[in-house]
Amino acid sequence: MMHAPAPAAPAGETPRRGRPGYDRETLLSVCVEVFNVHGYDATSMGTLSKHLGISKSAIYHHVESKEEILEQALARALDALEEVLAGAAAAEGPAVARLERVIRGTVRVLVEQMPYVTLLLRLRGNSEVETRALERRRTVTRRVGELIERAQAEGAVRDDLSGRSAARLLLGMINSIVDWYRPEAGDTTDQLADTVVGLAFSGLRAP
């Protein structure tokens, strides 16, 4: 469901930049919803104008192009994921504990920033903006793989597995959350993170 335009500023207050009805944050949110429904490449500025209920010129008060909207949306997802990794890197303790922290943090990001992460996961690399975002995503995967390898070296994770492949499989499992998770019909974010951690470290087989 698309968001309704926010009410205009009351009399006497300075209106927000752009045409009344949308601030930059709300405009970005609605545009991301449209991209996820119709596909970024298939969405024109005219399509965005129709869904927003404002003219194309009003959109240009907030952003210079459709690609700028994409870049801001992808940065929202990638900045949050990189922040999780930075927090784990700065934390003390064994690598396996930091790996669990990354798993839980990544699950939280996917739930809290689901529209933005969904857009990230659907990229095809058709533009310079997309290519840069995909490279950042690959860096995230590589850093998770390095953390798994450190946990292997410390003896906390089985060493008969490829750390790099394990990272891809682990993140693939987490990324699938965007396709099926609905907070109102399922587990809480913490319960979901507990399940992912349990599967990652213990699997399904009973001891």
Equal CATH topology for 22-63 and 67-202: no
The fold adopted by the segment(s) 67-202 is Tetracycline Repressor; domain 2 (1.10.357)
Return the closest-CA partner of residue 108 out of 181, 203, 160: 181
* pTM (two decimals): 0.85
* pLDDT single digits (tens) 14-64: 333 444 467 889 999 999 999 999 999 999 999 999 999 998 988 988 899
- Predicted confidence at residue 24, as pLDDT, reads 85
Q: Is 14 helix (H, G, I), strand (E, B) or coil?
A: coil
The fold adopted by the segment(s) 22-63 is Arc Repressor Mutant, subunit A (1.10.10)
Chain position carrying tokens 């335009």: 5
Check pLDDT > 70 for residue 76.
yes
> Domain coordinates of the chain in residue numbers?
22-63, 67-202
* pLDDT single digits (tens) 126-159: 999 999 999 999 999 999 999 999 999 999 999 9
Give the tokens for residue 144. 């998770």
Q: Which of 69-79 are b and which e, b meaning 16 or more Cβ less than 10 Å from the residue's Cβ?
A: bbbbbbbbbbe
Return the closest-CA partner of residue 178 out of 80, 123, 87, 110: 110
Q: Residue 66: left if φ>0, alpha if ψ -120 to 50, beta else—which one?
A: alpha
